[in-house]
Copies of this chain bind each other. A is one copy, B any other.
Amino acid sequence: MDPYGLTRVIGQPGVLPQRAERLDPSLPLREDEMLLDVERLNVDAASFRQLRQAAGDDAVKVGAEIARIVTERGKMQNPVTGSGGMLLGRVREVGPQHPAQGRLVPGDRVATLVSLTLTPLLLRSVDTVDLSADRVDVSGHAILFASGLWAKLPPDLPEALVLALLDVCGAPALVARHVQAGARVLVIGAGKSGALCCAQAKRNGARQVIAADISAAAVARLEKLGYAEGLAIDATRAMDVHAAIVEATSGALCDLVVNVASVPGTEMASLLSVRKGGTVIFFSMATSFTAAALGAEGVGKDATLLIGNGYVEGHAELALDLIRHEPALRQLLEERFKA
């Protein structure tokens, strides 16, 4: 038995698949693995942004680079950002020792809830790259280990929406865990994750939710829906953000800051916006560990700094539940994530 997939790592014995340079996605399937026919990749925001920039926003070039990375590494792990994303596909075979045995049958549509950075992947073709939705239609196969989380797609929600949701469902789940009623919350980044986090913070009874983003349109959308006060600002400019949050909170600063920015350099804005004794959750894959750790020390801010864990028990159910109960949020995300 090999629940973490060590036998799929090429040339680095004892190294786990995520840290490995290369994985072996070849068949046959082991007894404790599951085989998926892959239809779509949802590349994580930081990685997709890097790929777009490197390719000058050319969808065909982005697709070619993804094909190159997967051929070289046997997985979709962006070598620059180190991050991945997740995928949607159909069950082809469930190994007799895989925990999904008896719960999934060939043909079932599932999304993976583990990162692409540790999922053996073999692509036959990269078909359509949707630059606006960080989404790539492909054909190929992927292998899920016994420890790998997955979700069966619910029948009542559009697949594209579900995939987009599941990709980031750890963020609203951690918000649900950390927002107390009456809290002041700042969410940095007003894209998909940001919208989910704002809506969840409201549901938890936050007294004030502020959504900060460089895009005035993005923050206006959340403001219009009543999920947040919008703050159109460049979050890499820490002192500007600090001044705006001091004003918005009458000097109290925020109890919780959730960082889901897709650009680097927003650690200090987060640290300067949280009150002494408050909490910052860094969910952005562009977060620099040293910038966060040393930054807090540098400004003498005693706050709890959390690494946004992509896995929170019940996170998929929570995100799907959130979208079912928030029609405005569903509409917003459906417009962006059309099939």
Contact = CB atoms under 8 A, between A and B. Distances in A.
A193 interface: no
A268 B18 contact: yes
Given A309-B302, A311-B296, A240 B290 contact: no
Interface residues of A, number: 58
Contact of A291 (B18, B170, B290): B18
A16 B298 contact: yes
Interface string A61-84: 000000000000000000001111
Contacts of A102: none
Interface in A283-339: 283, 285, 287-313
A220 B282 CA distance: 37
Residue from A6, A287, A294 whose CB has the most chain B CB atoms within 10 Å = A294
Given A4-B239, A115-B294, A306 B309 contact: no
A268 B300 contact: no
Interface of A: 4, 6, 14-19, 81-84, 113-115, 117-118, 147-149, 170, 237-240, 265, 268, 276, 282-283, 285, 287-313
30 contacts: A4-B299, A15-B238, A16-B268, A18-B268, A18-B294, A18-B298, A82-B288, A83-B290, A84-B294, A114-B300, A115-B298, A117-B298, A148-B298, A149-B297, A149-B300, A170-B297, A289-B307, A292-B307, A293-B308, A294-B310, A296-B307, A296-B310, A301-B309, A302-B309, A302-B312, A304-B306, A305-B306, A305-B307, A305-B309, A306-B306
